[in-house]
Amino acid sequence: MARKRRIAILTAGGDCAGLNAVIRAVVRTAENVHGWEVWGVENGMEGFLQPRDEGLRRLTRDDVAGVLTQGGTILGASNRCDIFAVKRNGRAPRDESERVLKTFKRKGIDALICVGGDGTMGAAHRLLEMGVPVVGVPKTIDNDVRGTDRSFGFDTCIGVVGDAIGRLYTTAESHHRVMLVEVMGRDAGWIGLHGGLAGGAEAILIPELPYDPDRLAHKIHARIGYGKRFSVVVVSEGANRPGVDPTFRREQADRLGGVSFLVAEELRRRTVLEVRHMVLGHMQRGGMPSPYDRVLASRLGQHAVTLIAEGAFGQMAALKGERMASVAMETAARGPRKVPKRGPLVAQAREMGITFAAADGSDDPYADARRRYGAP
| Tens digits of residue pLDDT in 213-263 | 999 999 999 988 888 998 999 999 989 888 777 776 655 556 677 888 889
Greater confidence (274 vs 316) lies with 316
Q: Does residue 304 sit within a domain? A: yes
One of 142, 155, 212, 293 is an active-site residue; which one? 142
Q: In this structure, are 313 and 165 located in the same domain?
A: no
Q: Is residue 1 part of a domain?
A: no
CA distances to 113, 117, 311, 355 from 333, in Å: 15, 8, 21, 32
Are 117 and 61 in a shared domain? yes
Question: What digits encode the pLDDT tens for the residues 96-123?
Answer: 888 888 888 888 999 999 999 988 999 9
C-alpha–C-alpha distance, residues 96 and 84, integer Å = 6
Residue partners of 173: CB distance under 8 A and separation at least 6: 230
Q: Are residues 249 and 321 in the same domain?
A: no
110 is catalytic: no
* Backbone phi, psi, residue 75, to 5°: -95, -10
Confidence band of 363 (pLDDT split at 50, 70, 90): confident
Residue 337 has pLDDT above 90, yes or no: yes
More confident residue, 252 or 80: 80
Residues 205 and 298 both lie in one domain:
no
Residues 257 and 296 in one domain: no
Q: Residue 31: give the domain boundaries.
A: 6-152+289-332
Confidence (pTM):
0.90
Task: Tell me which residue of 254, 313, 227 sits closest to 119, measured CA to CA.
Answer: 254
- Distance of alpha carbon 139 from alpha carbon 141, whole angstroms: 7
Judge whether 166 lies within some domain: yes
Count of the separate structural domains present in the chain: 2
Residues 202 and 124 grouped into a single domain:
no
Contact 336, 118 (CB under 8 A): yes
259 and 360, same domain (yes or no): yes
Instruction: State whether 196 and 85 are in the same domain.
Output: no
